[in-house]
Structure 1
Amino acid sequence: MQLPVSPPVRPMLARSVAEIPPDASYEPKWDGFRSICFRDGDEVELGSRNERPMTRYFPELVEAARAELPDRCVVDGEIVIATERGLDFEALQLRLHPAASRVRMLAGKTPASFIAFDLLALGDDDYTARPFSERRAALVDALAGAGASFHVTPATTDMDTAQRWFHEFEGAGLDGVIAKPLEVTYQPDKRVMYKIKHARTADCVVAGYRVHKSGEDAVGSLMLGLYRDDGELASVGVIGAFPMARRRDLFTELQPLVTSFENHPWNWGAHVDPEIVRRYGGGSRWNAGKDLSFVPLRPERVVEVRYDHMEGDRFRHTAQFNRWRPDRDPRSCTYAQLEQPVSFRLGDIVPGLSP
């Protein structure tokens, strides 16, 4: 490739802040795979945040880039999969498969889209030293004729609109707002933007733990559950961030609750139906070969956790420890306590973005 900005490039990053800052350009925060798309004629490469190419996993975007993007350009954005229910991150994860035949099958079944939000190069011009306001205007012009797969993210400088987006767009699977200073240059791997994400709490049952990878008498992660309407305890995620000393203390504290799988609600080994195993958390969504063994606990202890949003019946990201709740009855820890975002259509955010 003969481009003014050549791969690999680490994307510019954002740091978390509690409130939307003033005097910036605001965009929805897309929940997908961050990617920088390089096109030089028929040559197309999709980079990733860790600089590893993702080109082979999204052949439909390679074809679309040749048809929809300017002949020579470098565009920063997010790879997403749109469904009628909103963004589907799990479908994205399924793309990271070693078999090319399966990747091609999924590309036809659940095609991906590319949401562009920054321009690094166009033709022979390097845009990285230009202010964001100029890069944004050039991006809109450059992708004005894009087709069904490449889209420019909406942006606004109006704070009230950004606040509305923050609350409304979550219902389509987006997870917050990005704020970009108008004068900021493109700075790879630097946290010079701001991200504002939803922050919520939930009371969960601790029903097991995994031993720390060190092999010592320490807890690696706590396994969290919520009760369904039918009384079944569903696995919703884990807490994994503790100092090493606290991991050892937790190991000692939890020993009186250790039980057998015989009467445990997550006795996945007794189920032959893979759908039952999946439904109650007995399989890894991302890594089929992952060791899922754990130490079962009597579901008697309640913990309050912080989380950003749900994906299906589980926390989208690893939850964070807030505090223990000895005052809560474990059976009161149900899905009913969770805030439900208002439903919102992706096509109303980006016209033409649809399954």
Structure 2
Amino acid sequence: MDLPVMPPVKPMLAKSVAKIPPGMHYEAKWDGFRAIVFRDGAEVELGSRTGKPLTRYFPELVTALQERVPERCVLDGEIVIARDGHLDFDALTERIHPADSRVRMLAERTPASFVAFDVLALDDRSLLATPLTDRRALLERALTAATPPVHLAPATTEVDVARQWFEQYEGAGLDGVVAKPLALPYLQDERAMFKIKHERTADVVVAGYRFHKSGPVVGSLLLGLYDDGGRLQHVGVSAAFAMKKRAELVEELEPLRIDDVTGHPWAAWSDEAAHETARLPGAPSRWSGKKDLSWVPLRPERVAEVAYDHMENGQRFRHTARFRRWRPDRTPESCTYAQLEEPVRYDLAEILGESDPG
């Protein structure tokens, strides 16, 4: 491979802001695996956000890119998987598997798509210093004839349209909106763009915690919600605390600490089979490896308000929730899934202008 921009490339990043800024280039914020595509003739490499290759996990995309993008190019975009008109992040994570046979089976069962939103090089020309508006025009021309599973990300310079996307597209599993200055060059590994994500709050049960890697202070709180059957389901963690607060939380939660997990709603957490029928903390997986997943059980009596941006399949917080405050006025039993706001469904095909994005 011999391209004007060579791997590894760390993609340009975005910083969070509360509102959509005016006078910019806007795109939907895709919820998949960020990927840099390098193509030089028959050679195709998919680089991850960290620079490590994703190529072996998406063999169907390698074939599709060989057929649908310019012979010599470097593209920035997102790998996604769609099911029933909605992004499915869980299906995407299943691809990161050591067994090649399983990867290829999943490539046939749940094929991935690539949504391109920037171009870093074409032919023998690096475009890293080229303004965004010019890069976008080149990208549109380069992908004029592209067909699924390769897509050109919709874009607009109309802030009112971006606001509409922000409201509608969450129903298809998208994360929000990205705003980019019109003259922006491509700045690797810099937070030069802006992301506006949905934020909601929920009252959750704090039923345990894990220690921080630095020592005997709280690393993350384990959060739960009651389902319709009255079972406390593990829905995620809250982890962003100042070191002083981490130490204070150990002392504050000490009266709720129990030495024996027997009788706790998540007592079966170490039984891998139990995770098939309930959401529990700590099952070993390909992601955790040999990581210590042990945790300190608490009587599920304390309620906290947390902020979150997205629910995965309506069951758990996609990202780490942000602690807001304790809610002594709420009972644990009142912390149910019913409080969560469900976005209105929106068909992903409408966004991409195709009959089937997968």
TM-score (norm 2): 0.94
> Following the alignment from structure 2 to structure 1, what is the Cα–Cα distance between the partners of residues 243 and 81?
38
Q: Which amino acid aligns with 2:73?
A: C
> Following the alignment from structure 2 to structure 1, what is the Cα–Cα distance between the partners of residues 11 and 199?
25
Cα distance 1:37–1:269, how it changes in 2: closer, same or farther (>3 A)? Answer: closer
SS at match of 2:156: coil
Residue equivalent to 1:154: 154
Per the TM alignment, residue 280 of structure 1 is displaced from its structure 2 partner at its CA by: 4.0
Given that 1:239 and 1:318 are in contact with CA atoms closer than 8 Å, whether structure 2 keeps it comes out as: yes
Q: Which amino acid aligns with 1:120?
A: L
Query: Which deviates more, 74-83 or 239-248?
Result: 239-248
> Following the alignment from structure 2 to structure 1, what is the Cα–Cα distance between the partners of residues 317 and 216?
27
> Following the alignment from structure 2 to structure 1, what is the Cα–Cα distance between the partners of residues 67 and 270?
51
> Following the alignment from structure 2 to structure 1, what is the Cα–Cα distance between the partners of residues 163 and 346?
15
Summarize deviations over 1:232-282 as a string: whole Å, max 9, x none.
111100111222222222112212111232221111159785454553445
Structure 2: tracts of 5 or more residues without a match: none
> Following the alignment from structure 1 to structure 2, what is the Cα–Cα distance between the partners of residues 110 and 166?
27
Query: Which deviates more, 148-157 or 282-291?
Result: 282-291
Residue equivalent to 1:197: 197
Residue equivalent to 1:339: 341
Residue equivalent to 1:321: 323
> Following the alignment from structure 1 to structure 2, what is the Cα–Cα distance between the partners of residues 276 and 149?
31
Q: Which amino acid aligns with 1:256?
A: P
**Correspondence list, 1:6-25, <5 A:** 6-25=6-25
Per the TM alignment, residue 96 of structure 1 is displaced from its structure 2 partner at its CA by: 1.2
Q: Which amino acid aligns with 1:340?
A: E
Residue equivalent to 1:2: 2
> Following the alignment from structure 1 to structure 2, what is the Cα–Cα distance between the partners of residues 55 and 272?
30
Residue equivalent to 1:309: 310
> Following the alignment from structure 1 to structure 2, what is the Cα–Cα distance between the partners of residues 39 and 243?
44
> Following the alignment from structure 1 to structure 2, what is the Cα–Cα distance between the partners of residues 50 and 301?
38
For the pair 1:241 / 2:243, whether they are aligned, the reply is: no
SS at match of 1:50: coil
SS at match of 2:323: strand
SS at match of 2:155: coil
> Following the alignment from structure 1 to structure 2, what is the Cα–Cα distance between the partners of residues 183 and 195?
17
Per the TM alignment, residue 306 of structure 1 is displaced from its structure 2 partner at its CA by: 1.0
> Following the alignment from structure 1 to structure 2, what is the Cα–Cα distance between the partners of residues 28 and 272?
37
> Following the alignment from structure 1 to structure 2, what is the Cα–Cα distance between the partners of residues 221 and 36?
32
For the pair 1:299 / 2:307, whether they are aligned, the reply is: no
Given that 1:268 and 1:277 are in contact with CA atoms closer than 8 Å, whether structure 2 keeps it comes out as: no
Residue equivalent to 1:349: 351
SS at match of 1:349: helix
TM-score (norm 1): 0.95
SS at match of 2:171: helix
Per the TM alignment, residue 287 of structure 1 is displaced from its structure 2 partner at its CA by: 2.4
Cα distance 1:278–1:333, how it changes in 2: closer, same or farther (>3 A)? Answer: closer
Q: Which amino acid aligns with 1:324?
A: W
Per the TM alignment, residue 340 of structure 1 is displaced from its structure 2 partner at its CA by: 0.7
Structure 1: tracts of 5 or more residues without a match: none
Cα distance 1:212–1:340, how it changes in 2: closer, same or farther (>3 A)? Answer: same
Per the TM alignment, residue 284 of structure 1 is displaced from its structure 2 partner at its CA by: 5.6
SS at match of 1:3: coil
> Following the alignment from structure 1 to structure 2, what is the Cα–Cα distance between the partners of residues 142 and 5?
17
RMSD of the TM alignment (CA)?
1.7
Q: Which amino acid aligns with 2:247?
A: R
Given that 2:300 and 2:332 are in contact with CA atoms closer than 8 Å, whether structure 1 keeps it comes out as: yes
Given that 2:272 and 2:283 are in contact with CA atoms closer than 8 Å, whether structure 1 keeps it comes out as: no
> Following the alignment from structure 1 to structure 2, what is the Cα–Cα distance between the partners of residues 179 and 307?
21
Residue equivalent to 1:206: 206
SS at match of 1:49: coil
Q: Which amino acid aligns with 1:209?
A: Y
Per the TM alignment, residue 20 of structure 1 is displaced from its structure 2 partner at its CA by: 0.4
Given that 1:16 and 1:197 are in contact with CA atoms closer than 8 Å, whether structure 2 keeps it comes out as: yes
Q: Which amino acid aligns with 1:187?
A: L
**Correspondence list, 1:82-161, <5 A:** 82-84=82-84, 86-161=86-161
Per the TM alignment, residue 91 of structure 1 is displaced from its structure 2 partner at its CA by: 1.4
Q: Which amino acid aligns with 1:33?
A: F
> Following the alignment from structure 1 to structure 2, what is the Cα–Cα distance between the partners of residues 195 and 287?
26
Given that 2:25 and 2:179 are in contact with CA atoms closer than 8 Å, whether structure 1 keeps it comes out as: yes
> Following the alignment from structure 1 to structure 2, what is the Cα–Cα distance between the partners of residues 288 and 99?
17
Summarize deviations over 1:48-104 as a string: whole Å, max 9, x none.
111111111111111111111111111110011111151111111111112212211
SS at match of 1:340: coil
Given that 1:84 and 1:354 are in contact with CA atoms closer than 8 Å, whether structure 2 keeps it comes out as: no
SS at match of 2:328: coil
SS at match of 1:267: coil
SS at match of 2:64: helix
Cα distance 1:56–1:269, how it changes in 2: closer, same or farther (>3 A)? Answer: closer
For the pair 1:227 / 2:226, whether they are aligned, the reply is: yes
Cα distance 1:60–1:276, how it changes in 2: closer, same or farther (>3 A)? Answer: closer
Cα distance 1:284–1:182, how it changes in 2: closer, same or farther (>3 A)? Answer: farther
Q: Taking every aligned residue pair, what percent have the same amino acid on both sides? A: 60
